[in-house]
Structure 1
Amino acid sequence: MRRNFEQKLNYSQIKDVDFRVSCINTEEFNGYVHLASIHKVSEAIFRSVDDKRIKIMDNEYKWLQITPLNANYNLITILDDEDQILQWEFHIIENNEADGKMSLMFEDLILSLLVLPNGIKKILGEEEIKKALYNNDINLCQYDKAYREIKILDQIVSIEKLITLSRGMLNNILGDCKPKNKLRCEA
């Protein structure tokens, strides 16, 4: 199982990026929102989905990561240089832990649900999770949990809800002018 941290973009093509982080604790949402504003890259990065190539990183793109506490997923919304949503990707996670410094660590259960604005949904990581189970990197309970969470998300996710959530969180974090070190969240 991989342990990942929010706020990290490990792409050598990134030449200039800044991060914003906010913790939101309301009736509607309790969790972390991270925004990576990618100002400059040495070359664009693409993802192939079936027979389509989707640009996922270029100059002035944004990656918005939404991680509700006490949930088994985090969501990355990728926006282009005109703030048009290009895709959403739900990463299934075992759990998440706040470190008290506005970053969040989580255990990645490998499976992801990719959702495109035209409604296409695709499960990613199926070969990798099978290999992880075979190699005892994850156990059968974690394997089953990952597939169970993917099925739930696949049934309840709608484009309208994703747009509303992503736009609301983007507006929230862009409107948040507090210094990073003064933000706090109840976990």
Structure 2
Amino acid sequence: MLKRKFGDLSNWKRVIKRKYSQTYLETKEFKGYITLLNTIKVTEPLSVQYGKKLVCIVDDGYMWLQQFPFNKNHSVTTMFDADGNIVQWYIDICLRNGMKNGIPWMDDLFLDIVVLPSGELIVRDADELEDALSKGIVDKALYDLAWKEVHNLKSLIGTGSFKLINLSKDHREKLLPKLK
């Protein structure tokens, strides 16, 4: 069974004080839901290691913008530091995006792509997808779909034409006044 991840991240115990907003957008460039989580206070910062780089992805005052495009096999989380600088884009490969009880969600297909502001691109969790295939959590068709989406997105990112990355600051600005 695929893991369903919700845009409000309401079960995230690390965040002890938060503000959240979401909206539906239908523009020429994007159709779907966007969410914004402001982590006002966290129990402790969270950093990830990429090679020799240590990147803080959540701390007090950070914001996570999530984009859930309709009819796509990905969802993008843009992580902003307390000064509004992008620290990374995290692209989840997914089977589908949807809505339940008023909250956007995605069904995770294990593979992820991290894009750093430097342009560095990292594919993550291939081992998790292999494990899911061997355990029958995903079949060969879903496995192939995940890898096809990764290759497609890498190509779009490489040419600078992956729109969600380019829209992240604008989408954040749309949600900032709605934070509650």
Q: Same fold (TM over 0.5)?
A: yes
Identity %: 29
Measured against aligned partners, the alpha-carbon deviations of 1:103-126 in whole angstroms (never above 9, x if no partner) come to 123211000010000010000111
Identify the residue that residue 20 of structure 1 maps to in structure 2.
21
Measured against aligned partners, the alpha-carbon deviations of 1:3-50 in whole angstroms (never above 9, x if no partner) come to 222211544322111210011012221100000000011211111111
Check conservation: 2:75, 2:97, Cα contact below 8 A.
Answer: no
CA RMSD between the two structures? 2.0
Secondary structure of 2:72 counterpart: coil
Distance 1:9 1:117, change over 3 A: farther
Identify the residue that residue 152 of structure 2 maps to in structure 1.
152
Number of residue-to-residue matches in the alignment: 177
Name which of structure 1's ranges 110-119 and 152-161 shifts more when overlaid on structure 2.
Answer: 152-161
Write the distance in 2 (CA, Å) between the matches of 1:159 and 1:145. Answer: 21
Q: How far does residue 163 in structure 1 lie from its aligned partner after superposition?
A: 5.4
Secondary structure of 2:175 counterpart: helix
Q: How far does residue 77 in structure 1 lie from its aligned partner after superposition?
A: 0.2
Q: How far does residue 162 in structure 1 lie from its aligned partner after superposition?
A: 5.5
Alignment of 1:1-187 (within 5 A): 1-8=2-9, 10-99=11-100, 101-157=101-157, 158=160, 164-176=166-178
Write the distance in 1 (CA, Å) between the matches of 2:135 and 2:163. Answer: 37
Write the distance in 2 (CA, Å) between the matches of 1:14 and 1:53. Answer: 21
Q: How far does residue 164 in structure 1 lie from its aligned partner after superposition?
A: 3.2
Check conservation: 1:20, 1:34, Cα contact below 8 A.
Answer: yes
Write the distance in 2 (CA, Å) between the matches of 1:155 and 1:163. Answer: 13
Distance 1:159 1:89, change over 3 A: farther
Give the TM-score normalised by the residue count of structure 1. Answer: 0.88
Secondary structure of 1:89 counterpart: strand
Write the distance in 2 (CA, Å) between the matches of 1:87 and 1:141. Answer: 30
Name which of structure 1's ranges 161-170 and 56-65 shifts more when overlaid on structure 2.
Answer: 161-170
Write the distance in 1 (CA, Å) between the matches of 2:8 and 2:68. Answer: 12
Check conservation: 1:21, 1:32, Cα contact below 8 A.
Answer: yes
Structure 2: which 5+ runs fail to align?
none
Secondary structure of 2:170 counterpart: helix
Name which of structure 1's ranges 83-92 and 26-35 shifts more when overlaid on structure 2.
Answer: 26-35
Give the TM-score normalised by the residue count of structure 2. Answer: 0.91
Secondary structure of 2:40 counterpart: strand
Q: How far does residue 92 in structure 1 lie from its aligned partner after superposition?
A: 0.6
Give the ranges of 4+ consecutive aligned residues of structure 1 lying more than 6 Å apart after TM superposition: none
Q: How far does residue 176 in structure 1 lie from its aligned partner after superposition?
A: 4.7
Name which of structure 1's ranges 5-14 and 47-56 shifts more when overlaid on structure 2.
Answer: 5-14
Structure 1: which 5+ runs fail to align?
181-187
